[in-house]
Amino acid sequence: MITGHGDDAYQFNYEIVSNFSSNVYNKFDLKDLKEYLWANIASIHSYPEPDALTLRKLIGKKLNISSEEISVTNGATEAIYLIAQAFRGSKTAVVIPTFREYEDACEIHEHSLYFIESLDNIEPDTQLVWLCNPNNPTGKIYDKEYLKGIISSNPNTCFVIDQSYAAFTENKIWNASEALNFNNVILLHSLTKCYAIPGLRLGYITAQKDKIDLIKHYSMPWSVNQLAQLAGLYLLENVTYKFSDYLPESQRVQRQLSEIFGIKVYMSEMHFFLCQLEQGKASDLKKFLIETEGFLIRDAANFRGLDASYFRIAVQDKMNNNLLIKAIEEWTKLSF
């Protein structure tokens, strides 16, 4: 387990005023969900369904696929670790820079790993490819037609496509039903990011039944707790997310930051994006922002392919975004 993921406020003795460090929109209003959980709090006294059957059925209904083409997981993270087990020892490619857990899970389960920056560089005999789409931390979105071409021309390679951030893009990416046309595609989904509930741990896998059965062979019972399962049932029936105001604000923040001397912004269509310092270390900027403003950003040094000069920002509300821009500008003036 690496340390240094985002949302690491617990490591600091400062009150966090605004959290730009995890790719979760923290201003989502979930009063009704919370009241629903409170109304059902007595459910903590019973075991959860061992494989979340009721929630699988509801997801299946919503996505127009079978509950047997779904596995509900303890966040997308459990999905990653189960797939790494199911493909133990495979020749495996990870498209970088990206979320670190693909690599970590595959190392634990003795994959023969290599790293590529483009899907055009998949080596022969590769059994598994990990792709985050939209990608964390870059916000890059792969075109669906391009992906179809790559997947069709590599029929013996299984593609795990992590769509945890799907809800935040208006771009056309896969839906679960389309992806089921391919036997060599496994989609990962997260409810953590779009509903702002990373504390509950809830995700799911969709794939053809033979792939789901393979993954379930490695699953343990009860991995998703009662309140997480209940939250999933409630949210899918009652809450529609809408991020249309959020993406233009991300564009605005990216433009303004890119005008600061010494900051390079890697433009992204998403609500989060990668920045690079032309000099100095992101860890120093992070420390400054916590101490002066109570703002938490993601030091991106531990993404493979990046270094200590990179950091990631997930935009929040306009007022705090503006304060962040000002504080970063101030730091560059003090440091450069």
Q: What is the binding site for a copy of itself (CB under 8 A)?
A: 1-3, 5-7, 9-10, 19, 22, 24, 26, 28, 30, 34, 37-38, 41-51, 53-54, 74-75, 77-78, 80-81, 85, 101, 105, 108, 196-201, 216-223, 225-228, 231
The nearest distance, CB 39 to a copy of itself, in angstroms, is 10
Q: For the chain, first and last CA: distance in Å?
A: 35
Cβ atoms 252, 324 nearer than 8 A? no
Q: How far is the CB of 317 from a copy of itself (least distance, A)?
A: 14
Q: How far is CA 66 from CA 48, 70, 176, 180, 265, in A?
A: 21, 7, 11, 10, 42
DSSP characters for 142-158? --HHHHHHHHHT-TTSE
- Name the residue with tokens 């564009």: 251
Least distance from a copy of itself to the Cβ atom of residue 54, Å: 7
> Judged by CB, which is closer to a copy of itself: 215, or 260?
215
> Considering only CA atoms, which of 11, 20, 17, 14 is closest in space to residue 313?
20
Task: Tell me how far, at minimum, the Cβ of 172 lies from a copy of itself, in Å.
Answer: 29
Q: Which is nearer to a copy of itself, 213 or 278 (CB)?
A: 213
77 versus 90: smaller Cβ distance to a copy of itself: 77
Nearer to a copy of itself, 140 or 193 (CB): 193
24 or 324: CB nearest a copy of itself = 24
Smallest CA-to-CA distance from 285 within 325, 314, 328, 336 is with: 328
Q: How far is the CB of 18 from a copy of itself (least distance, A)?
A: 13
Which residues, listed in sequence order, are joined to residue 310 by a DSSP beta bridge? 276
Residue type, 24: V
Minimum CB separation from a copy of itself for residue 154, in Å?
28
Inter-axis angle of helices 226-238 and 31-39, to 10 degrees?
Answer: 130
Q: Could you tell me the smallest distance in angstroms from the CB atom of residue 124 to a copy of itself?
A: 28
Spell out the residues 6+ positions from residue 213 whose beta carbon is closer than 8 angstroms to its own: none
Residue 68 backbone dihedrals phi, psi, to 5 degrees: -80, -5
Task: Quote the tokens at residue 207.
Answer: 């794939």
Nearer to a copy of itself by Cβ, of 45 and 242: the residue is 45
CB of 12 to a copy of itself, least distance (A): 13
Residue with tokens 């046309």: 181
> How near is the Cβ of 148 to a copy of itself at its closest, in Å?
31
DSSP single-letter state for residue 224: S
The number of CA neighbours under 13 Å toward the Cβ of 114 is 11
Which CB sits closer to a copy of itself, 80 or 128? 80
State both tokens at 303. Answer: 């993404």
Residues 6+ apart with CB under 8 A from 77: 101, 201, 203
Q: Which of residues 57 and 91 has its CB atom nearest to a copy of itself in the complex?
A: 57
Closer CB to a copy of itself, 30 or 301, in the complex: 30
